[in-house]
């Protein structure tokens, strides 16, 4: 009896010390997951997507208007983290754990249409990738349009990027700066902000 209590105490103390030793930094978003971890999680996630979605073909035909809708939606909702060209090179992108991937990379482009749809509709738990669908995948045409746009990212043109820049969300300060500049250019007596704050 006494031996068991002693053993129990030693075990508890051991777990406590190990936890305290691991704790500092354990919840930090700095650094990157190891290659092995990424491969393993990708494998598990591939099979975690219900097969009827994983194997689904994009039900929306890739018409020019569809691609234009996808481009607009991406510039407005996704580019803050993913960048207009999908590179993930934004102020936030590399600082997530795991970091935002380059959507033009083979790893992403090799995912099935259904898998990409699933990620957009349901998000990715324990990462910075939010869910964009309302839980009703049958009605979610927007996410299927975004899948077409993600397929188009490797061939995106400088003209398209330029167009997207006009669709990116801007802060109130940026909007006020733009309004003041427009009023100034229209001949009104305002002081346009000359400095850029970033
Ligand atoms: C708040 C930042 C943020 C926004 C906004 C965001 N994403 Fe993501 N996204 C992430 C992060 C972080 C990851 C990496 C997740 C991972 O490694 O599984 C990611 C991953 C992805 C992936 C790859 C999934 C994978 O398996 O690696 C796709 C595709 C994607 N996002 C599409 C989109 C689309 C489309 C939108 C807009 C509707 C969007 N994201 C908006 C942060 C964001």
Q: What is the dihedral of CA 162, 167, 170, 174, to 10 degrees?
A: 60
Residue-range domains of the chain with CATH? 32-167 (1.10.760.10)
Closest to 66 measured CA to CA, from 155, 162, 151, 170? 151
Q: What is the CA(77)–ligand 1 centre distance, in A?
A: 11
pTM here is: 0.85
3-state secondary structure of 137: helix
Q: Please answer whether residues 91 and 73 qualify as being in contact, where contact means their C-beta atoms are separated by less than 8 angstroms.
A: no
Q: What is the pLDDT of residue 100?
A: 97
Q: What is the dihedral of CA 178, 86, 154, 168, to 10 degrees?
A: -20
Between CA 95 and CA 81 the distance in angstroms is 10
122-177 tens-digit pLDDT: 999 999 999 999 999 999 999 999 999 999 999 999 999 999 999 999 889 988 99
CB under 6 Å to ligand 1: residues?
77-78, 80-82, 96, 98, 100-101, 103, 108, 116, 119-120, 124, 127-130, 132, 146, 150
Q: What is the pLDDT of residue 190?
A: 79
Which pair of structure tokens corresponds to residue 129?
Answer: 């990738």
């Amino acid at each position: 009896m006494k031996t068991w209590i002693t053993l129990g105490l030693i075990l508890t103390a051991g777990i406590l010390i190990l936890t305290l030793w691991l704790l500092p930094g354990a919840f930090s978003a700095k650094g990157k997951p190891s290659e092995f971890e990424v491969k393993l999680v990708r494998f598990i996630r591939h099979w975690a997507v219900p097969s009827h979605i994983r194997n689904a073909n994009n039900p929306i035909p890739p018409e020019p208007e569809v691609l234009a809708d996808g481009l607009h939606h991406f510039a407005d909702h996704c580019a803050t983290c993913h960048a207009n060209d999908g590179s993930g090179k934004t102020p936030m992108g590399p600082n997530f754990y795991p970091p935002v991937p380059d959507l033009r990379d083979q790893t992403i482009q090799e995912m099935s249409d259904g898998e990409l749809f699933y990620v957009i509709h349901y998000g990715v738990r324990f990462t910075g990738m939010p869910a964009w669908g309302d839980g009703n995948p049958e009605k979610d045409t927007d996410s299927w349009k975004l899948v077409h746009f993600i397929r188009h990212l490797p061939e995106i043109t400088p003209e398209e990027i330029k167009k997207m820049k006009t669709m990116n969300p801007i802060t109130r300060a940026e909007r006020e700066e733009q309004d003041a500049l427009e009023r100034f250019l229209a001949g009104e007596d305002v002081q346009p902000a000359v400095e850029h704050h970033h």
